[in-house]
């Protein structure tokens, strides 16, 4: 695994909806994100998928070479959208996003593009949310969901660079609460998949797995706080957001140092 593991490695998974918030489920994790925040992230990531898959389908049809840096983030974001659908009780969003992910895995980008066109956010009213959809083996899931941290012209969602830019000491990027709210949802859900897809090093011993899970819980709690504060919009305390992002970055650096899996 390359540098995206520097940012985040796993966190909560099972969730339940109650009074507009996702509350802790039977597991020990605590993924707590407002439904409205899920809707915003879902809308943004559906747009990303539709744009990326249209480009991939066009290039594949033309016989152009496709890069992993183009494909893996699309697969990762498709998995995120399945989780948003699960959390929102949006069965069509979840099912269609799974079909997108399966088509991407088969490198059938024409079909993936067609399924992506059907993606639309239409929340339902679920009482309980089950496990996050896991259509692939753990190693592929982890690789895919971590890839949105990458940036670049053919990369992912640029999460890693955005966090660094907002928290640097000199000339930091101005914090936009609306942007950070979506970022926090993404990192939380990425961590949810990561928690249940530990890498090889984390699986080598109970002690390592416990450490992986501890990093995960710390990260999800920070993401919860970031989303909650950023969700206040114009009333958000940007200094508090920056402090939380900086703490999250530090925690993730520690996790990266312990568990980075170089390819």
Consecutive sets of 10 residues in the chain, 263 residues long: mean pLDDT of each?
34 30 39 87 97 97 94 95 89 95 96 98 67 80 89 83 94 97 93 85 95 87 92 97 93 86 51
Q: What is the pLDDT of residue 100?
A: 97
CA distance 109 to 100: 9
- Which pLDDT does position 24 carry in this prediction? 34
pLDDT of residue 126: 56
> What is the pLDDT, as a whole number, of residue 106?
96
Query: Where is 68: in which H helix or E strand?
Result: helix 68-88
The pTM of the full predicted model, rounded to 2 decimals, is: 0.85
Q: What is the torsional sign of CA 200, 205, 211, 216?
A: positive
Output the pLDDT for position 1.
36
Give CA–CA dist 222/217, Å, rounded: 9
Q: Which two tokens stand for residue 233?
A: 């919009």
pLDDT number for residue 30: 63
Residue 240: helix, strand or coil by DSSP?
A: helix
Helix (H, G, I), strand (E, B) or coil at 167: helix
Q: Is-contact 74 52, C-beta < 8 A? A: yes
Could you give the C-alpha distances from 257 to 34, 121, 189, 206, 253, in angstroms and in order? 31, 37, 22, 18, 6
- pLDDT attached to residue 76: 95
The answer to whether 44 and 182 are in contact (CB under 8 A) is yes
């Amino acid at each position: 695994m390359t540098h995206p593991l520097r940012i985040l490695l796993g966190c909560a998974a099972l969730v339940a909806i109650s009074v507009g918030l996702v509350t802790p489920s039977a597991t020990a994790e605590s993924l707590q994100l407002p439904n409205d925040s899920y809707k915003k992230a879902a809308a943004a990531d559906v747009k990303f998928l539709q744009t990326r898959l249209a480009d991939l389908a066009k290039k594949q049809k033309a016989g152009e070479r496709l890069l992993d840096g183009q494909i893996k983030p699309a697969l990762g974001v498709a998995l995120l959208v399945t989780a948003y659908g699960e959390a929102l009780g949006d069965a069509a969003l979840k099912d269609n996003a799974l079909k997108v992910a399966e088509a991407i895995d088969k490198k059938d980008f024409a079909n993936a593009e067609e399924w992506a066109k059907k993606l639309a956010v239409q929340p339902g009213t679920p009482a309980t949310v089950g496990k996050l959809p896991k259509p692939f083996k753990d190693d592929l899931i982890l690789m895919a969901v971590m890839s949105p941290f990458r940036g670049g012209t053919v990369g992912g969602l640029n999460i890693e660079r955005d966090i660094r830019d907002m928290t640097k000491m000199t000339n930091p990027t101005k914090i936009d609460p609306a942007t950070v709210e979506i970022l926090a949802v993404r990192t939380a859900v990425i961590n949810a998949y990561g928690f249940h897809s530990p890498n090889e090093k984390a699986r080598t011993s109970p002690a390592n797995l416990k450490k992986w899970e501890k990093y995960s819980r710390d990260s999800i709690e920070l993401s919860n706080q970031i989303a909650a504060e950023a969700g206040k919009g114009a009333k958000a305390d940007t200094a508090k957001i920056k402090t939380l992002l900086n703490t999250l970055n530090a925690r993730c650096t520690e996790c990266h140092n312990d568990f980075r899996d170089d390819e």
